[in-house]
Amino acid sequence: MSSSSAVLINSRKKGIILVLIGAILWGVSGTVAQFLFQHQGFSPEWLVVIRLLISGTLLLGIAYKREKHRIWGIWRVKHDAFSIILFGILGMLAVQYTFFAAIHHGNAATATVLQYLAPVLIMCYSAFRAKRMPTLIEGIALIFAISGTFLLVTRGSLHTLSISGLALFWGLTSAVALAYYTLQPLKLLANWGSTIVVGWGMLIGGIFFSFIHPPWDFVGEWTLPSVFAVIFIVAFGTIIAFYCYLESLKYISASDTSLLACAEPLTAAFLAIVWLHVTFGFAEWLGTICILSTIALLSVKKEKSTLMVSEKVEYKVNQS
């Protein structure tokens, strides 16, 4: 194995570890958020605005300590300034609010599984951009995704929903938001790094949302568990999780990042069932398996493509 191949493998391992850490923390924070909404009376709007403002400020403080005045440089480039505003509102704010709203109207397990329809949306978008039809594997993944969503939200019945219409709406919207969140900031990350991009994205999203729901407009019950829950969501479920997720994009592709992040719905489903006693019947589990199977299918497709490219590169090197 050449030294360049070893570097690529190590970089890929680093990316995989980063995205798994972020996904697991995200999954735990979703279940913790459900606890705050359903047992402590917190509103998703307050939690989102506080989460964004505090986390964004802290991340920018960390970025300033490391990179000094470079954190302001993003505003001196017109295109990057416009992109970071879009990312903050349509990416960072959207992915957090839609996810928390889905949890509020349903539960963390269902919300996270629905959100992870995002890889299928990214696949469809990639095929559209390339002006091609989906491959056989992609087509099968799409059928699995549709079937899984149907089973998850209806329990196999054509006449009723097992979750509220709002939970379904916000869950599907969160999948769209996550797809956008994954694809949109790639150039920003390459130019400015994840700390600056995530920090500004959170602060912009928090400031924008403050005009809709001021941070002082609080509803809920402060107890010792709720204090620890908020701290966990802000520190681990936001700063560390989002940082790891976006930092992983330096080492692996956006598609790989979304696919490996399937650890989040598994974590959220496990905790919601064990801790909050959410009921998951056979149909819900089958739907979850179908949706996660799309991730496995697309991952195998991506791995095969990567191996084919690697073999071609290795052949050319050997022939040189």
Residue 135 lies in a domain: no
pLDDT at 6: 58
pLDDT at 94: 95
* Burial class of 277 by CB neighbour count within 10 A (0 to 12, 13 to 18, 19+): exposed
Close Cβ partners of 19 (under 8 Å, ≥ 6 residues apart): 244, 245, 248, 252, 256, 257, 260, 261
Residue 250 lies in a domain: yes
Residue 8 lies in a domain: no
Residue 6 lies in a domain: no
Residue 309 lies in a domain: no
Name the nearest CA neighbour of 226 among 4, 16, 28, 41: 41
CA distance 243 to 5: 26
pLDDT in tens, 74-111: 999 999 999 999 999 999 999 989 999 999 998 888 88
Q: Total domain count for the chain? A: 1
Least confident among 15-29, 175-189, 205-219, 253-267: 253-267
Residue 166 lies in a domain: yes
pLDDT in tens, 31-69: 999 999 989 999 999 999 999 999 999 989 988 888 888
Exposure pattern of 135-160 as b/e (b: 16+ CB <10 Å)?
eebbebbbebbebbbbbbbbbeeeee
**Which structural domain, as residue segments, surrounds residue 225?**
15-124+159-285
pLDDT at 299: 66
Torsion over CA: 83, 86, 88, 91 (sign)? negative
DSSP state of 214: -
pLDDT at 314: 31
pLDDT at 270: 79
| Strand, helix or coil for residue 292 | helix
Residue 191 lies in a domain: yes
